[in-house]
Structure 1
């Protein structure tokens, strides 16, 4: 977030200059939904991920543990942190007329808002939605245009609090500006490239849906003029495809692509005997739910287009619990939609998926032996297949809630479905799927923290995913690491699912509703849960109020801590539990009572180069001031009374620095780190890297230095590229010796922003050093932005 008009602030109010949590120093925010799916056969398609429920392939790997729910009573034996959310932070109950008035008021003020944000003259804001808290705080979500063109990845949320304090959550920190808004590449060329990209992704019958539109792509490292093409077709597993392909309108190179099809009384196969909303039309009952805006449930009769036939019945008694009765799937589907609608309304006051009172619709019996379910924003509908041999329908309650929650995410934060934000998108659907189960509390589908346990797609009685220990599925990650954004989003969702379980139930062995769990933590320390009721409120507020399209795991931590501060108070037991649960999956640190200092990485600075390092400390002792002291600072550096280390180092060498922060109650904390002062040489001239072409080089010439380089010579490299696995990067010493820095490593992750250490002690410091970069595969492109050498 940032304060208006310019000062950025991602933290809730706190005692004494605090970030309320120690900042997370992992992967930076990317400028960049079936319940599961296998990895693509082509590495180029890592961004193409339909939201279908599941497909064959690696998801059917053996060795999964069982965890079937039973109707045993909930185990009350494990303690949790009990707290009541602050009433003022709850969503206000807005009538359609009041919601419309807020939208109208925000729309009338977009010009003034843009000016207060410091946006350029060519930038305009478009109101997407306005939410209001019970205490009157408003949260207005905007899209952005530049010179009349849509800005993809330019979304932001303006938070206007009581007393006039205004902050902003934004998807990109970059200034949105492009040299020109006239494309050098024709729309026809972009369309051709988009179709080719779809074919490379194994799509069947790809065709352009309308003409490509000109946009500004702001979700990358640098905003560019681009064409957005939508390619319709069919994915390899039978799921419909709406592939969005972003093509640089100046160079014609592929920039990004993503899939927009997101893949997920009567008696149902999974829900049991449940009440259904139906409507009498003449002498026939129709599966039209008048209590939920007229939600309609259709039988596609194994078709793959249209709506099929509306389910009807002569006596308003639907299904019999057997798969052979076609109404049975309709019961599960209709109940799943109703239960999801009721959950969002009862818990959050949300009026439908888009919060606009408009019903989606559902389609059962899709395709032939289609092992999937998916949500589509285009039709605003849910679709369910009948599974293998048309005998294993994917219509369980958590499937419905998972897929429909993708619609909620799309209508709010709209988390980009790739990288870390894609994992958070997928986890959000798993989180609310569990929450809907607990809210519905069905005897036939006992609430649990297992995903897809009823549908048994593997045929061995195992769930699709486990929230308490995601790695039990064989592919998901339990904790965050720097490579998380490069794996499939259904597996990178694991740490967020794990976080939510830890926050809800806590770590260690326990039994909930007859299901045994044993949840570990990455730091080996215990986490105390706060209960799913409060955990879901924190995640929902973070999603709908503070997250944006590019939020990554570090950003999600900030968003949930802000939400916890709003609902329960900064530094409350609940707030501290949120930080502890994130630490339990290796995102940030726990917050201790008293003084906390954010970790400080070892520093390297150049002789004669200006230094400005703001340390970050806070105290949980409300109102207590902080004083700072440091020992071991390099010559030329000083520490201010606000914790800023600044100055110009004068002497090469390495020292151990200890920073001590004390609050006015006498509580103190210290951190130590190494500070190396050396001669640093840099080349910041941009060098474009040819696509699948010859190597390029960038030189640094050093003169006037004696002796050889260090055995720990450091090479910092910053390359902007859409697929780092295509690259080889070498350091070439003055005598021609080649040191390999990067050799097609990192897979499908974006960019290289990394410091490498090599033993160059055989090289003289004086001479010409070169960084050599080559792109060895086609499609993805980029450039060397800068590099630095510390010999």
Structure 2
């Protein structure tokens, strides 16, 4: 384990003496040792991310000069992704004489030796404008924006609306501009907001789009059934604060306006830890849905791509349910770093908009804002919406919730008249979305132009032809009459995420998205891989570009990255055990781990052999997960057995630090510091409720801010 190497003696003494020897034993650098391949990126601790961001800031001045930027320009580091081989991809925003440059972002790619190799630009080259003194006043700009609004009716400005001077570099020639926000009746309800960009000299409209990135006015809540959610205890009660997922808090907005959902907000709190009743008669029910959906979305990004929260900094965004009145909408707002969920209207039976794919969709808008920040208009806006549809769909597959199985329909639980909001396999089936690219793509509503990328993703993942997925009929019909097999949803998602986080910028259009995904496929699977070839065929199948030459005829795609949470382990070295490598003697084979838990370190003893799982022991707030998917539980009276040793600095019978056993996301057993033992103790968990099913099994450790508890796990078996 990387976390207790240099401090091993101090920690051992602390465990023996029952005293706190260190404040933290977590390495501040990048996670070392074996890491998950999440789209090719290393996992980073919070301090590790801060370190590489600080490095990017120190390099910014020299980098700007080497790129040929002018003396009035500055680069501001926004994000850094580090590949498994140590290569870096540093994303910068740009300012010009202190003003934000809209469309000025860029990504600089560094080889593992630290040398820059290439740059991906939103607007290539230096920015030059005549001056930064506007001819139009801010007041006149606001008035012009009100008159020019086209996405909202009866536009007005409020004390929350702004008029900001910026440099507009989305077009070929950068100009000084005002970015204004107006409020009025629109798709997001009575208080929809629209951004209007105006030339600061002439007042001409440069661009305009809705500010709230929405699921487009539909929804359904109270649909996830009975689930386990993470809460926090304080004083004499509990709150809907999820410490395992960045301390995400779900609030009751108490019908605050969507422009300020926190206005009347209150925390959900009660003396018992049982929430909701599965119907709208309890205000808690919508909050349960939101808490569960956001946690599953967080876990999807963490366990699939090594991404810790929206901004990859471990911080959870607040969420508000019961927003506004008769609000048939849900949306993410980057200005408040928050998510809002309405209660629906008479059009959908007044059901809350807290469905699982809605939560995944909205939180993914935040991930897009934190990475490529795709402009929410034109073709980039369609890509923005498609990204949320893609990852909202992947969250639905990842959650593996029996009441809402994974499929490629968007909003199939939202009580729409035709049974869905959008379809990725056949976008044009809704009568408005585009299935194939055309010159209209940049002019239609972004929810409709998203169909092109949605269709591409479906074809990449599943290929052409009719099939049933999640109990629903799908038919991947290409625009060019081609036929081919897909590479699977996990690989398709890894390619899209790497393209989004490494190669897309705010101005990426469909042609550039094709280039970005081809490069991402090459990075992950090779330039001559079948995966890259299928990506090219899928783009051609939605009328963008032509297919590359087949690199190997009908060869099978190469294996998925080992981090894929839904891939099926093979080669069970433990006959008679439904788990792969249950004794850990094959290292991490078959297991997905959020930290380097599986070890043969001599600092602790295994129960059998030399390998075991060492979970927790930080002495500070932390969490870890060790999991295995596609576990075939036998019929009859199946049981999970394992050997557990608990050593703690805590005292008494209060459970401060816990290890939970979860099957399909449901907690089936909990152990804590109160279960401390001198040696290994065999534990048995009845799995009769899952007999004959294929399930996911996970061990999740959680430690509070004070004193440490170590959970040693070995010889795990399902049989």
TM-score range, shorter chain: 0.5 to 0.7
**Match for residue 67 of structure 2?**
117
Tell me, yes or no, if structure 1 residue 300 matches structure 2 residue 250: no
8 Å CA contact 2:529–2:551 kept in 1: the answer is: no
What is the deviation of 1:203?
Answer: 4.4
Any conservation in 1 of the 2:188–2:214 contact (CA below 8 Å)? no
1:8-61 superposed Cα distances (whole Å, 9 cap, x missing partner): xxxxxxxxxxxxxxxxxxxxxxxxxxxxxxxxxxxxxxxxxxxxxxxxxxxxxx
Confirm or deny that 1:136 pairs with 2:93: no
Higher relative contact order (CA closer than 8 Å, sequence separation 6+):
1
**Of 166, 173, 191, the match for 1:215:** 166
Q: Secondary structure of 2:340's partner?
A: strand
Map of 1:261-300 to 2, 5 A cutoff? 261-264=212-215, 269-300=222-253
**Counterpart contact for 2:213–2:331, Cα < 8 Å:** yes
Corresponding position: 1:549 with 2:502: no
Counting only pairs closer than 5 Å after superposition, residues 198-597 of structure 1 correspond to structure 2 as 198=149, 201-203=152-154, 205-207=156-158, 209=160, 212-232=163-183, 235=186, 237-238=188-189, 240-264=191-215, 269-304=222-257, 305-307=260-262, 308-389=265-346, 391-458=350-417, 462-593=419-550
1:532: how far off? 0.7
Q: How does 1:740-755 map to 2 (within 5 A)?
A: none
Distance apart, 1:239 and its partner CA: 5.5
1:170 equivalent to 2:129? Answer no
Distance 1:472 1:241 in 2: 28
- Determine if the alignment matches structure 1 residue 149 to structure 2 residue 130: no
Offset of residue 212 of structure 1 = 2.9
Partners of 1:227 and 1:550 in 2: how far apart?
Answer: 18
1:294 Cα deviation (Å)? 1.4
Distance 2:550 2:483 in 1: 16
Task: Write the distance in 2 (CA, Å) between the matches of 1:183 and 1:387.
Answer: 43
| Cα 1:415/1:486, change in 2 over 3 Å | same
**Offset at 1:503?**
0.7
Contact (CA 8 Å) 1:336, 1:396: kept in 2 or not?
A: yes
Shift of 1:518: 1.2
Let me know the Cα RMSD of the aligned residues: 2.2
2:675 corresponds in structure 1 to: none
Query: For residues 436 and 234 of structure 1, what CA distance do their matches in structure 2 show?
Result: 31
The 3 A distance-change label for structure 1 pair 368 and 580 is same
The alpha carbon displacement at 1:205 in A equals 4.3
Inter-partner Cα distance in structure 1 for 2:127 and 2:374: 20
Deviation at 1:134, TM superposition (A): 1.3
Cα deviation per residue 1:651-680 (whole Å; 9 max; x = unaligned)? Answer: xxxxxxxxxxxxxxxxxxxxxxxxxxxxxx
1:347 and 1:240 map into 2 onto residues whose CA distance is: 36
Matches within 5 A, 1:593-612: 593=550
**SS state of the match for residue 62, structure 2?**
helix
Which blocks of at least 5 consecutive residues in structure 2 are unaligned? 1-34, 216-220, 553-719
**Offset of residue 282 of structure 1:** 2.1
CA distance in structure 2 between the partners assigned to 1:200 and 1:139 by the alignment: 36
Residue by residue, what CA displacement relative to the aligned partner does 1:504-533 show, whole Å, maximum 9, x if unpaired? 111111122322211111111112111111
Counterpart in 2 of 1:98?
48
Aligned to 2:668: none
Q: Are the counterparts in 2 of residues 191 and 208 from structure 1 also a CA contact under 8 Å?
A: no
2:256–2:323: 8 Å Cα contact kept in structure 1?
yes
Q: 1: distance between equivalents of 2:150 and 2:550?
A: 56
The alignment partner of 1:391 has SS state of: coil
Residues 595-744 of structure 1 mapped to structure 2, 5 A cutoff: none
How much does 1:448 deviate?
A: 0.6
Give the whole-Å Cα distance in 1 for the aligned partners of 2:146 and 2:316: 33
State the alpha-carbon separation in 2 of the partners of residues 593 and 391 from structure 1. Answer: 52
| Structure 1 residue 180 displacement after superposition | 2.1
Whether the 8 Å CA contact 2:151–2:194 is kept in 1: the answer is no
Q: Is the 8 A contact 1:260 1:377 kept in 2?
A: no
Query: Partner of 1:143: helix, strand, or coil?
Result: strand
Give the gaps of 5 or more residues in structure 1: 1-84, 596-791
In the TM superposition, what whole-angstrom CA distance separates every residue of 1:122-149 from its partner, at most 9, and x where no partner exists?
Answer: 2221111111111111111111122232
CA contact under 8 A between 2:36 and 2:42: conserved in structure 1?
no
| C-alpha spacing 1:303/1:191, structure 2 compared with 1 (3 Å) | closer
Alignment partner of 1:189: what SS? helix
With structure 1 as the length reference, what TM-score do the two structures score? 0.62
Determine whether 1:185 maps to 2:136: yes
Larger radius of gyration: 1
Q: CA deviation at 1:367?
A: 2.1
Which whole-Å deviations, capped at 9, do the CAs of 1:405-432 have from their partners, x for residues lacking one?
1010011001011111110000000000
Structure 2 vs 1, CA of residues 178 and 569 (structure 1 numbering), >3 Å: closer, same or farther?
A: same
Q: How many pairs are equivalent?
A: 507
CA distance in 2, matches of 1:538, 1:127: 24
Contact 2:522–2:528 under 8 Å retained in 1: yes
CA deviation map 1:425-458 (0-9, x unaligned): 0000000011001111101111111100001133
- Go from structure 1 to structure 2 and tell me whether the alpha carbon gap of 1:154 and 1:127 turns closer, same or farther (over 3 Å shift): same
Measured against aligned partners, the alpha-carbon deviations of 1:703-723 in whole angstroms (never above 9, x if no partner) come to xxxxxxxxxxxxxxxxxxxxx
8 Å CA contact 1:263–1:372 kept in 2: the answer is yes
Shift of 1:578: 0.6
SS at match of 1:427: helix
Do the aligned residues in 1 keep the contact of 2:151 with 2:209 (CA within 8 Å)? no
CA pair 294-183 structure 1, distance change in 2 beyond 3 A: same
Separation in 2, partners of 1:161, 1:450: 40
TM-score normalised per structure 2: 0.68
| 3-state secondary structure, aligned to 1:413 | coil
1:194 aligned to 2:145?
yes
Report the Cα distance in structure 2 between the residues aligned to 1:400 and 1:86, rounded to whole angstroms.
Answer: 25
Contact kept in structure 2, 1:138 and 1:160, CA below 8 Å? yes
State which drifts further: 554-563 or 197-206. 197-206
For 1:319 and 1:180, the matched residues in 2 are separated by 58
How far apart in 2 are the matches of 1:229 and 1:86? 43
Specify whether residues 574 and 370 from structure 1 end up closer, same or farther in structure 2 by C-alpha distance, changes over 3 A only: same
